[in-house]
A and B are shown apart, each in its own frame.
Chain A
Amino acid sequence: MSYILRRLGTMIITTALSVVMIFFVFRVIPGDPAIIILGTEADEAQIAALRSQLGTDRPVLEQFVTWASSTLRGDLGISLRFNRPVAEMITSRLRVTAPLAIYAITLVVLVSIPLGVALALIRTKTVNLAFSYLSQLGMAVPSFWIALLLMSIFGVGLRWFPLGETVDWERDVAGSLRALTLPAVAIALPAIAIVTRYVRSGLVDQLSQNYMRTALSKGLSFYRAVYGHALRNALMPVTTVLGILFADIVAGTVVVEQVFALPGIGLLLVTAVNYRDFPLVQGIALYIALVVVVLNFVVDLLYRVIDPRVRLHKPA
């Protein structure tokens, strides 16, 4: 219990620091938001008006307190461009981004674990070398290029998947999944390259452990020894990697949503940056940071469930 409380404490500190950082990034970096939004030719009165709307004419500390207290209450401010509450805009875009991210993570887990196991069991020189190059190539491929290629082959060429449309979940679940397939594959691919590496090397380590010899010598079949003993231990570090991957997946959605013109949070963020819509940019960044931190916390707890040996003072 005290472990969970401590982790909760660290999580809150990390979140608080992210909040402070996101706020001060907007103050530290040179440039007056009001002038950036209106352009250098705007007249003084307009600039002053926008400054007071943004609150940037007040002392920094006062701005921070105002902003932080409303943020804590879930009020992320009003978008300058769309004149709507930022929190509400983010929530409405979640309908696209959340399924997309979950779809991508599911693909990563479903593909990398069997693939990693297979590669750990078949370790010939050629396979090892080919995998080492292929996985590095997989990490090097830009997800938006994969997205463009998938789009031109399966969308434009073969017409297997619909392009540029999002289907309502309530009306057609299969159709929604189909529409999200190409983007999810594009986001998942680089992550698959990374996770497969971890599964493979984790399992290779476990296969040479003494308990494997014991399991085999007491007559357990190789298959049961691998799946019942080695794999379970090998997946421990993978859990941690999955936690880090959430950030990658979110980053992937930002660019890939642009390729497929999917109206998710990523597309909203890019729009917000293009319009210099500071409250919106700030709100989305904050939201993403929160999601990543909370998911990492959940992964940490999961880790504890899978492996009761893990204690705060002797992490595996």
Chain B
Amino acid sequence: MSGQDYEAPSGAFSQRDDATAGSGAMIYRCGDCAVRVPLEKGAPIRCQKCGARVLYKERTKRMVQFEAR
């Protein structure tokens, strides 16, 4: 049978990856005001807007595959 083949989604980094690649800064989320906080390596862990010290890592930009079971 001649069917048009799919491009199965790959597990690698995708083009949807909108992290600030190149600058070396990691993006975090402030635990208090939910603002995006870019942090350089070694920088104090602190929200630049409200000063909160709890920051959350963003979800992975990789595709995750699940069985619907």
A and B together in one complex: no
Q: Which A residues lie at the B interface, using CB under 8 A?
A: none
Q: Which B residues lie at the A interface, using CB under 8 A?
A: none
